[in-house]
Amino acid sequence: MAKIIAITNQKGGVGKTTTSVNLSAALAATKRKVLLIDLDPQGNAAMGCGVVKDDMEYSSCELLLEEIPVTEIVYKNKELGFDLIPGNADLTAAEVKLMSAAHRERRLADALLPIKDQYDYILIDCPPSLNMLTLNAMVAANSVLIPMQCEYYSLEGLSSLMTTLRNVRDSVNPNLYLEGILRTMVDTRSRLGKDVSDQLLEYFGDKVFRTTIPRNIRLAEAPSHGVPVLAYDKASRGAVAYIALAGEMIRKEKAAKS
């Protein structure tokens, strides 16, 4: 049975999609079966995987609106190493339609039931807002992974996100938990970054991943080539960091089960 992880942060530009694509590739590199779901109307995760978002026949929009079975929407690409359900601008219309739909917050959870036993991990790239799409992801998920930059405004947004997580847990998904907080775009020379990082560690403890994602030009270049950084430059600092993150997650999961 797949572990479903919603990768979310209502603040944009924190490396959410970068993490979704490259963590999927890193987990796949450890021989895990991985599905990435692009739930962001911008469709950046799809583009980062080499899918032209405007040319696709089906997307996560049809999945949420229950128009097409999930088995017909999954894109399989052996070179990519993991499967993909792409997203595009149609998701904006899907969100509007969901507002008046029955069981609107459970659409994604229900749609994934037929394929949950086919994967080890299902990662969901959420939009940079706390909307109906993000709520669907959090209801479907076992856990939430939060990428964030070590900046003051990021701390403010983290507080709102943790409140949302608690509300979802109290109302519709009592088993939802915090997978971890991932520090992204880390600049070791920044005093502010160190101060914010220290505050995170003080408050969240071992819920802050030991692995950090550095600012890395190869990581920034990979999406323009439509591949994860592991396929673009596996020796780069960005690629090594995401492999380390995958390893840390797997070790934590094994320790929790033992």
pLDDT digits (tens, 9 = 90+) for 223-242: 999 999 999 999 999 999 99
Work out the mean pLDDT of the chain and round it to a whole number. 92
Rounded Cα distance, 83 and 81, in Å? 7
> Among all chains, which residue has been given the structure tokens 């070590």?
150
More confident residue, 25 or 253: 25
Whether the Cβ atoms of residue 128 and residue 15 lie closer than 8 Å to each other? no
Entry pTM: 0.95
**Domain segments of the chain as ranges:** 3-257
Q: What three-state secondary structure class fits 192?
A: helix
> Measured between alpha carbons, how far is residue 3 from residues 152, 154, 216, 244 in Å?
31, 27, 29, 19
Q: Which of 158, 80, 109, 86 is nearest to 4 (CA)?
A: 109
pLDDT range class, residue 55, cuts 50, 70, 90: confident
Q: What three-state secondary structure class fits 240?
A: helix
Rounded Cα distance, 209 and 213, in Å? 10
Instruction: Give the architecture-level CATH label for domain 3-257.
Output: 3-Layer(aba) Sandwich (3.40)
